[in-house]
């Protein structure tokens, strides 16, 4: 199985900050990588697919990069509504796997 590693598990930042959240796969997953945002009590929301493609309706301050084993989600200027938990997920092979999540908290 492919393991997805997100570290750190939590991150403190301020409104207006640029934030990067890393994700590493235990083997190459090409670009079969998605990023999700989840707020408490809500379903996950797709932000980025195919490692770097922005999902329709998602603000352009979100961007993704990487391929192979190393990926990054970047938020260029944090807004109050961005404080949430972020997950990476691979669809390269079954079983699909998620990272442990990175909780973005207000500093």
Partner 1 sequence: EVQLVESGGGLIQPGGSLRLSCTASGFTVSSNYMSWVRQAPGKGLEWVSIIFSGGGTFYADSVKGRFTISRDNSKNTLYLQMNSLRADDTAVYYCAKESPPPPYYGMDVWGQGTTVTVSS
Residues at the interface with partner 1 (CB under 8 A): 31-32, 34, 36, 38, 43-46, 48-50, 55, 87, 89, 91, 94-101
CB atoms within 10 A of CB 6: 20
In the complex, minimum distance from the CB of residue 15 to partner 1, in angstroms, rounded to a whole number = 25
- Name the residue nearer to partner 1 (CB basis): 66 or 99: 99
63 Cβ contact list (under 8 Å, min separation 6): 48, 52, 54, 73, 74, 76
- Name the residue nearer to partner 1 (CB basis): 17 or 98: 98
In the complex, minimum distance from the CB of residue 17 to partner 1, in angstroms, rounded to a whole number = 24
Spatial distance between the Cα atoms of 64 and 53, rounded to a whole number of angstroms: 7
In the complex, minimum distance from the CB of residue 74 to partner 1, in angstroms, rounded to a whole number = 17
- Name the residue nearer to partner 1 (CB basis): 48 or 73: 48
Of 73, 80, 96, residue with least CA distance to 20: 73
In the complex, minimum distance from the CB of residue 46 to partner 1, in angstroms, rounded to a whole number = 5
CB of 89 within 8 A of CB of 99?
Answer: yes
- Name the residue nearer to partner 1 (CB basis): 57 or 80: 57
42 Cβ contact list (under 8 Å, min separation 6): none
């Amino acid at each position: 199985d492919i393991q997805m590693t997100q570290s750190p598990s939590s991150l403190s930042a301020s409104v207006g900050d640029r934030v990067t959240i890393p994700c590493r796969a235990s083997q190459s997953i090409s670009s079969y990588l998605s990023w999700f945002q989840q707020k408490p009590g809500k379903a996950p929301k797709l932000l980025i697919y195919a490692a770097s493609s922005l999902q329709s309706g998602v603000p352009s301050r979100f961007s993704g990069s990487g391929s192979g084993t190393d990926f990054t989600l970047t938020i260029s200027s944090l807004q109050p509504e961005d404080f949430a938990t972020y997950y990476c997920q691979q669809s390269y092979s079954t079983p699909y796997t998620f990272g442990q999540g990175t909780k973005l908290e207000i500093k």
